[in-house]
Chain A
Amino acid sequence: MNGTRIFYVLAALFALCVPLFGIYPIFMMKLLCFAMFACAFNLLLGFSGMLSFGHAAFFGSAAYATGWLMTAHGCGPIAGVAAGVGVSAALGLVVGALAIRRQGIYLAMVTLALAQVVYFVCLEAPFTGGENGLQDVPRGALAGLLPLKSDLVMYYAVLAAFVAVYLLIRRIVHSPFGQVLKAIRDNENRAVSLGYDIDRYKLLAFVLSAAIAGLAGSLKALVLGFVTLSDVTQANSGEVILMTLVGGSGTFFGPVIGAALVVTLQEYLSDLVGGWVTVIIGAVFVVCVLAFRRGIVGELAARTFRR
Chain B
Amino acid sequence: MADTPIIETRGLTKEFNGFTAVNAVDFRMREGHIHALIGPNGAGKTTFFNLLTKFLRPTRGVILFRGENVTEAGSAELARRGIVRSFQMSAVFPHMTVLENVRIGLQRRLGTSFHFWRSESSLGSLDRRVMELLEAVDLADFARVIAVELPYGRKRALELATTLAMDPKLMLLDEPTQGMGHEDVNRITALIRKVSANRSILMVEHNMSVVSTIADRISVLQRGQIIADGPYEEVSRNPQVVEAYMGSADAELGAAHA
Contact = CB atoms under 8 A, between A and B. Distances in A.
B79 interface: yes
Interface of B: 53, 55, 74-77, 79-80, 84-87, 91-96, 100, 103-105, 107-108, 110, 112-120, 122-123, 162, 166
B120 A176 contact: yes
A201 B93 CA distance: 17
A177 B114 contact: yes
B79 A193 contact: yes
A186 B92 CA distance: 8
Contacts of A194: 79, 84, 104-105, 108, 162, 166
24 contacts: A172-B116, A172-B117, A174-B119, A176-B107, A176-B123, A177-B118, A179-B107, A180-B108, A182-B96, A182-B100, A183-B96, A183-B104, A187-B91, A187-B94, A189-B91, A192-B55, A192-B75, A193-B53, A193-B79, A194-B84, A194-B166, A195-B79, A196-B108, A197-B74
A176 B113 contact: yes
Interface in A213-269: none
B84 A189 contact: no
Nearest to B91: A190
B87 A190 contact: yes
Given A177-B116, A193-B87, A196-B108, 16 more contacts: A176-B107, A183-B93, A186-B93, A186-B94, A187-B92, A187-B93, A189-B55, A189-B87, A189-B91, A191-B104, A192-B75, A193-B53, A193-B85, A195-B80, A196-B76, A204-B116
Contact of A196 (B110, B112, B113): B113
Contacts, number: 103
Interface residues of A, number: 27
Contact of A175 (B75, B80, B117): B117
Interface string A116-131: 0000000000000000
A171 B117 contact: yes
Interface of A: 171-172, 174-180, 182-183, 186-187, 189-198, 200-201, 204, 208
B113 A192 contact: no
Nearest to A190: B91
The 6 A-B pairs of least Cβ separation, nearest first, read A195-B79, A177-B116, A186-B93, A195-B80, A190-B91, A172-B116
Nearest to B94: A186
A175 B96 contact: no
Contact of A179 (B80, B100, B117): B100
Contacts of B87: 189-190, 193
Contacts of A190: 87, 91-93
Taking each of A174, A180, A190, which has the highest tally of chain B beta carbons within 10 Å of its own beta carbon?
Answer: A190
Nearest to B111: A176
